[in-house]
Amino acid sequence: MSRSAHPAGPRHADVLPEGHYTAPPADLNSLDPRVWAQTVERTPEGAVAVGGLDVRRLAEEFGTPAYVMDETDFRARCRAWRDAFGSDADVYYAGKAFLSRAVVRWLHEEGLNLDVCSGGELATALDAGMPAERIALHGNNKSDEEIERAVEAGVGRIVLDSFQEIARVAHTAARLGRRQPVQIRVTVGVEAHTHEFIATAHEDQKFGLALAGGGSSSEAGEGPAAEAVRRVLMLDSLELTGIHSHIGSQIFDMAGFEVSARRVVGLLTRIRDEHGVELPEIDLGGGLGIAYTPEDDPREPHEIAKALGDIVTRECEAAGLAVPRLSVEPGRAIAGPTAFTLYEVGTLKELEGLRTYVSVDGGMSDNIRTALYDAEYSVALVSRASAAEPMLSRVVGKHCESGDIVVRDAFLPADLAPGDLLAVPATGAYCRSMASNYNHALRPPVVAVRDGQARTIVRRETEEDLLRLDVG
């Protein structure tokens, strides 16, 4: 591999009129533990290892690009969430972040429940042995087939998202001779401080039933959600176990959860007063943030558990309600930090006075989030250490698309060369789940590493896979 120096781009952030970059780090070889999985370290030889395995060996054995998952880190995060909430609460891993049969087995072994939102996710969960009673099914437009499979399997809850779905789930459960536990998803008029396209709790959206009527969120219980409760309570084939809400994604501030809990408790109070029923559970959803860059400052699970527990207890005591069981649904907060994407550097192009474009062998087909959400990521040279000056860089993919950006602004060593390996951390959530075959790219494998052993848990796609589906 050549180590000849590549012409460096600008050294200082103030040469560009716009961008998300900050000043160069003091040490380009450092690995900030806030964004890297717990067993990732730089070896004395200068390369990076995960779970005791050198990334150069992983690249040789499994190829690039590849998602490399630290199984030790994943399991530790599962335990941290489970222990933080304790036996009086339920933690449901949000499978949409990343799901595979291996992940389902890890969740089962570490004592977490599982939230799924499609027939495919449900099939994966059941096939991998997750007990059906520990599965929740979400979705704003569940098919008849998905509903029937969930009821027949005996899932622990179906989260109802519309009036039509109430009738469809009730009919299916009655036909199968079941009494299906359900929750009602409500929109509480709270929008978390996140990107517009991933905020999901404001009322003008496709999810859930509004607490308020007439477009106002000030009077909890006056809208469609209260009517949904009335309908469910009239149906013998449905058992209403609680109310579900979700206020957004990549959330660091607990203030939104406080407002959400207050409004949900308002609905619980009305249910008690009008129907004589105190529901046993409240689910505040997920959306807890992670560190994609060193500037991000997420809370630890025990801090989140205490904050949410205090909020729900305070609101229920003020309303004179028994404190219900609390459920949460972390997905990104568990899977996200546990993996990085390993790439090989190809072409480098210096734009004098601007930056250097560093092209890698993946791109928007394995990480659409930068293009879709303007998401920010970190990146590091991992196949060796470097003492070269920092070079303002943009890491881009190989796709025929100008928006094919992996890391918009980063500082990399000025001696970066074709054949070097880069790693982008915090890609365990949504990257493989949202991966595509754009330009007929082959989706990368997911490689799990633990205690010096590596194995493929989701294999790399092949050209034969693509052609097998093309029946024309």
Query: What pLDDT, in 10s, does the model give residues 69-115?
Result: 999 999 999 999 999 999 999 999 999 999 999 999 999 999 999 99
Q: What is the DSSP pairing of strand 89-94 with strand 325-328?
A: parallel
Q: How many domains does the chain have?
A: 2
Q: Do 71 and 449 form a contact (C-beta atoms < 8 A)?
A: yes
On whether both 62 and 202 belong to a single domain, the answer is no
Q: Do 77 and 103 form a contact (C-beta atoms < 8 A)?
A: no
424-453 pLDDT tens trace: 999 999 999 999 999 999 999 999 999 999
Residue 425, in any domain of the structure: yes
Query: Which of 300, 330, 360 is a domain's end point?
Result: 330
Q: Encoding tokens for residue 324? A: 């219900």
Q: Do 404 and 465 form a contact (C-beta atoms < 8 A)?
A: no
Query: Which of 330, 347, 372 is a domain's end point?
Result: 330
78 is catalytic: no
**H or E stretch covering 340:** strand 339-351
Residue 35, in any domain of the structure: yes
Residue 458, in any domain of the structure: yes
**H or E stretch covering 261:** helix 255-275
Residue 317, in any domain of the structure: yes
Residue 114, in any domain of the structure: no
On whether both 142 and 279 belong to a single domain, the answer is yes
On whether both 155 and 191 belong to a single domain, the answer is yes
On whether both 387 and 434 belong to a single domain, the answer is yes
Residue 103, in any domain of the structure: no
Domain harbouring 460, CATH code = 2.40.37.10
On whether both 182 and 301 belong to a single domain, the answer is yes
Query: Which of 274, 300, 330 is a domain's end point?
Result: 330
Residue 304 has pLDDT above 50, yes or no: yes
On whether both 320 and 452 belong to a single domain, the answer is no
The boundaries of the domain holding residue 317 are 138-330
What local confidence, expressed as pLDDT, does residue 193 receive? 58
Catalytic residue among 117, 316, 400, 431, which? 400
Average pLDDT value for residue range 116-131: 98
On whether both 245 and 277 belong to a single domain, the answer is yes
The DSSP symbol for 187 reads E
Residue 124, in any domain of the structure: no
Residue 276 has pLDDT above 60, yes or no: yes
C-alpha angle 107-110-116 in degrees, rounded to nearest 5: 20
On whether both 341 and 315 belong to a single domain, the answer is no
**More confident position, 247 or 418:** 418
